[in-house]
Amino acid sequence: MAKANMTPERNIMPTQEPSVRAHNFDEVALGYSEETAIDEAMRCLNCKNKPCVDGCPVKIRIPDFIEEIKKGEFEKAYEIISASSSLPAVCGRVCPQEKQCESKCVRGIKGESVGIGRLERFVADWHNTFSVDVPSSLSSNGHKVAVVGSGPSGLTCAGDLAKKGYEVTVFEALHVAGGVLVYGIPEFRLPKTIVAKEVDTLKKLGVKIETNVVIGKTLTVDEIFDMGFEAIFIGSGAGLPNFMGIPGESLKGVYSANEFLTRSNLMKAYRDDSTTPIMKGGNVAVVGGGNVAMDAARTALRLGAEKVYIIYRRSMEELPARLEEVEHAIEEGIEFSLLCAPLEILGYNNPDDPRDPQNGFVKGMRLIKMELGEPDERGRRRPVEIEGSEYEIEVDTVIMSIGTSPNPLIKSTTDGLEVNSRGGIIVNEDGLTSRSSVYAGGDAVTGAATVISAMGAGKTAAEAIDKYLSK
Amino acid sequence: MYRIAKKKSLNANVIEMHITAPLVARKAKPGQFIILRVDEDGERIPLTVAGTDAECGTVKIIFQIAGATTKSLSLKQEGEYIQDFVGPLGIASELEDLKKVCVIGGGVGCAIAMPIAEALHNMGAEVTSIIGFRSKDIVILEDEFRSFSDKLVIMTDDGSYERKGNVTEPLKEMLSNGESFDMIITIGPLIMMNFVTETARPYGIPVTVSMNPIMIDGTGMCGGCRLTLNIDGKKVTKFACVDGPDFNGYEVDFDEAMSRSRMYNDFERHSYEDTCNLLNKEVN
């Protein structure tokens, strides 16, 4: 075995040039080559106590898969990852690794941590390019489990249970499987062919996917039990977009990030041949600082906006988005208006002509500057308005990206299913809800969070369901 | 894929289809809607359920050819299939305890008003129906309304059939002659529902309106269908897809709803929302 690569910096991820990618929807990060992957793997010291594994919500055996990369055994590396993760190609792209596995990496103390996420992505892409999944020869254990929602938590739960021999049916409200991976995360960050491939892998494991079924409407939880399912996992996500409650939010040109991204991603407005309408061009203000806000801002830019602002009330340090997305957004020319908050969205109104077609469209935004005050109960410094600092900017489109709330459809049609004050389903440490045999996880429980934490919850619930049904 | 079990034309532009979707047929109630896609890469359009046959497992929809999607749907023949069909969405109309009701429909909105008149009639309520159309050649569902109504008034804008004028005229006459209703239920173009509400206001009769704004998913996810209600002087945002489509007419901010319905009028090339929203099309 060759000696460890002690270069303090990690191998650079090749990307499309910012000036080019700002005008297309192709993937931004291009992925490591085999040589680069092996070179990066050599930076792993394979330390004894494996702190990185503790940082991973699904406990992937990280040093073990990296060891296989060092040997060029990419398929073996894939097997190690897929034993813990049902969606490796997705996680390698969308996990906030710098806050998870990579934050614990020993190499990060005196330099940059090993590019674990990039290596995971490399392995998954290598597998998807060169390997053929053999149809599973698993025999059914005779138990039927239903999964509600085909987003990250549902797909993970379904995959883990299918591998254990359960007959799993996933019910999806939309016309295509993938949940937020399909309607929310844009093509340039997570190509939809990758999501489709991961879904196909699950189908080969025997998972059935029923699209166009809204649980709480088409079928209720009780009816699912009547159909012979013995346990249900609810991974219905945090569907309902939040608005700020400021004047002007109903003007034409104000979108929730969900609507804007759904029009572009799910309804394909990003394609030139699409008939889905979406406001393009002009100045765009995106309110919020999370990953969804970055996705919306960069989507608006690619659709042809002249100027795109991120409006965030705290500073760069508190910005909750994944580091790489923020860096990419800055490189592409997104303007970060930090420490400011919207007070009002201003609309056009022609007093002389009530039939002026421009009436009722957004023309600007009134904001106020903020400063950081005392830390709140979570330790984050609270933004405080600076008196007299109001100002206006000219914008044509406003995208509200200030979080989402769990969808009440299931709660309102399921007796005995308890939720907290924010609408999140209450679960115990196994993911079990207040209804027996009903489990839940992901954003439906926590409110808007990350893909990987949802996957972790799907995994926990799958283990608990297995334990419960094999009693 | 969902099979078109039956198809017939109600007038040159309005078509009735029965789609095989047993799960939806079992559940759907008057006032609820479905979302369909005609083909892969097609648009999602909401259409209100016009009736169900639980035994055959079919759902009846009535639509007006108004844009690309309804056009391509209209070209599908009996026995052919459409890509997606999901529902029932929204909250069913609340008809319980109503004894005497005035049902007012405008244009293709009558397709939604008819099953409500039918449900009320079957409940034993006294039903007065007022239905309005631009002209004689687009009158639909007259026989159905006649059989489910104790009294039926048909209005045409141009006077080419029955009475000339707006649906608010006979309503105003009835109310000023001392007639009263437990509720007025109105379904049609926004401007019509707005005027019906204003006509009823001096008499204090409850008005239920059926909102059909721009929407994508129909499950509350996109928020595009939001509208503002004025409840006791406070502005409250509601999502038509999950909180509606029925709302208290006196609370709806119609000016805002009409403005929002015109959001994509400039996108001529993009027929999506126009197609999606048959009722708003009636306004134009």
Residues B82 and B127 in one domain: no
Phi, psi of B36 (to 5 degrees): -130, 160
Give per-residue pLDDT as tens, A349-392: 999 998 888 999 999 999 999 999 988 888 888 999 999 999 99
| Chain length of chain B | 284
B43/A275 Cβ within 8 A? yes
Among B42, B67, B43, B54, smallest CA distance to B18 is for B54
Interface of B with A (CB under 8 A): 23-24, 27, 37, 41, 43-44, 68, 83-89, 216-217, 219-224, 226-228, 237, 239, 242, 253, 256, 259-260, 262-267, 269-273
Question: Among A175, A256, A409, whose Cβ lies nearest the Cβ of B219?
Answer: A409
Helix axes A257-264 and A291-302, enclosed angle (nearest 10)? 50
- What CATH number does the domain containing A120 carry? 1.10.1060.10
In b/e form, how buried is each residue of A227-250, taking b as 16+ CB within 10 angstroms? Answer: eebbbbbbbbbbbbbbebeeebbb
pLDDT, position A2: 63
What integer is the mean pLDDT of A294-307?
A: 97
Strand partners, B164: B156
Cβ distance B221 to A407 less than 8 Å, yes or no, reads yes
pLDDT at position B284, please? 37
**Nearest residue in chain A measured CA to CA from B255:** A360
Residue among A217, A259, A359 minimizing CB distance to B216: A259
Backbone angles phi, psi at A182, to 5 degrees: -100, -45
Shortest distance, CA B22 to any CA of chain A (angstroms): 10
Q: Which residues pair with B183 in a beta bridge?
A: B101
- Residue B119 counted as domain residue: yes
Q: Which of B24, B242, B264 sits opposite A277 (nearest CB)?
A: B264
Q: Would B228 be classed as within a structural domain?
A: yes
Give residue A375's pLDDT: 87
Least Cα separation, residue B179 to chain A (angstroms):
36
A214, A245, A266 member nearest B219 (Cβ): A214
Single-letter code of the amino acid located at B224:
G
Tell me which residue range forms the domain holding B57. 2-89
pLDDT class for A276, splitting at 50, 70, 90?
confident
Percentages helix, strand, coil for chain A, rounded to the nearest 5?
35, 20, 45
**Quick check: A156 pLDDT over 70?**
yes
Are A231 and A469 contacting, i.e. CB atoms less than 8 angstroms apart?
A: yes
Return d(Cα B212, Cα B276) in angstroms, integer.
Answer: 9
Number of separate domains in chain A: 3
Does the beta-carbon distance from B217 to A173 stay under 8 Å? yes
Which residues of chain B neighbour A218 with C-beta distances below 8 Å?
A: 23-24, 27, 86-88
Q: Do B223 and A243 touch (CB under 8 A)?
A: yes
For all residues of chain A together, what is the average pLDDT?
93
Give the pLDDT mean for A237-241. 86
A184 and A201 housed in the same domain: yes
Domain hosting A417: range is 144-239+405-469
Cross-chain residue pair B221–A183, CB shorter than 8 Å = yes
Residue B35's nearest CA partner among B215, B220, B243 is B215
Maximal CA-CA distance, chain A: 80
Peptide bond into B88 cis (omega under 30): yes
Confirm if A263 and A278 have CB atoms less than 8 A apart: yes
| B281 in any annotated domain | no
* Domain stops at, among A89, A107, A130: A130
What is the reported pLDDT for A277? 83
Contact A136, A205 (CB under 8 A): yes
**What pTM did the predictor assign?**
0.91
Say which CATH number the domain at B46 has.
2.40.30.10
Would the CB atoms of B43 and A267 count as touching at under 8 Å?
yes
User: Which chain B residues are Cβ-neighbours of A443 within 8 angstroms?
Assistant: none
- B249 assigned to some structural domain: yes
**Token pair in block for residue A298:** 């960069």
A258/B222 touch (CB, cutoff 8 Å), yes or no: yes
B105 and B73 in a single domain? The answer is no
Contact criterion met (CB below 8 Å) for A92 and A124: yes
Tell me the pairing of strands B81-82 and B2-9: antiparallel
Q: Residue A220 and residue A226: Cα distance in Å, rounded? A: 10
Q: What confidence tens digit (pLDDT) does each residue in A64-80 have?
A: 999 999 999 999 999 99
Residues of chain A contacting B43 with CB distance shorter than 8 Å: 267, 275-276
- Beta carbons of B271 and A173 less than 8 Å apart: no
A347 with A438, same domain: the answer is no
